[in-house]
Amino acid sequence: MAYLELRDITFAYDTSENPVFDGFSLSLEKGVCLAVRGDNGAGKTTLFRILNGLSFPVKGEYVLDGVKITREYLKDNSNAKRFHKRMGYLFQNPDIMLFNAKVYDEIAFGPRQMGIGEDKVRERTEDCMNLLEIRQLADKAPYHLSEGQKKRVALAAVLALNPEILVLDEPFAGLDTKNRKLFMKILGELKKAGKTLIIATHSEEITEAFADRVLDLSTFVDETGR
Ligand X SMILES: Nc1ncnc2c1ncn2[C@@H]1O[C@H](COP(=O)(O)OP(=O)(O)OP(=O)(O)O)[C@@H](O)[C@H]1O
Chain residues binding Mg ion by CB under 5 A are 44-45, 92
Angle at CA of residue 191, ends 32 and 153, nearest 5°: 115
* Residue 43 binds to ligand X (criterion: CB under 6 A): yes
Please state, in angstroms and as integers, the Cα–Cα distance from residue 218 to each residue in 67, 109, 122, 199, 224, following that order: 29, 36, 43, 15, 12
Closest contact distance (angstroms) between CB of 44 and Mg ion is 5
* The 33-37 sheet, strands edge to edge: 87-90, 165-169, 196-200, 33-37, 213-216
45/196 with CB nearer Mg ion: 45
* Cα–Cα distance for residue pair 225/19, rounded to 1 Å: 6
* Residue 40 binds to ligand X (criterion: CB under 6 A): yes
* Residue 93 binds to ligand X (criterion: CB under 6 A): no
Select from 153, 160, 54, 74 the least CA-distant residue to 109.
Answer: 160
Closest contact distance (angstroms) between CB of 17 and Mg ion is 17
Phi-psi domain of 146 (left: phi exceeds 0; alpha: psi -120 through 50; beta: other): beta
> Phi and psi at residue 179, in whole multiples of 5°?
-75, -25
Which one of 43-51, 102-110, 134-142, 176-184 is the stretch in contact with ligand X (CB under 6 A)? 43-51
Partner from Mg ion, ligand X, none binding residue 40, C-beta < 5-8 Å depending on class? ligand X
Closest contact distance (angstroms) between CB of 141 and ligand X is 26
Closest contact distance (angstroms) between CB of 13 and Mg ion is 13
Name the residue type at position 152: R
* Residue 45 binds to ligand X (criterion: CB under 6 A): yes
> Phi and psi at residue 28, in whole multiples of 5°?
-125, 140
Q: Give the one residue of 6, 33, 38, 211 binding ligand X; rule: CB under 6 A.
A: 38
Buried b (16+ CB within 10 A) or exposed e, 70-85: eeebbeeeebeeebbb
Q: Give the one residue of 31, 41, 148, 174 binding ligand X; rule: CB under 6 A.
A: 41
The residue sitting closest to Mg ion, measured at its beta carbon, is 45
31/41 with CB nearer ligand X: 41
Positions in 2-21 near ligand X (CB under 6 A): 13, 20
6/42 with CB nearer Mg ion: 42
DSSP secondary structure code for residue 161 in this structure: T
44/150 with CB nearer ligand X: 44
Which one of 40-48, 65-73, 132-140, 186-194 is the stretch in contact with ligand X (CB under 6 A)? 40-48
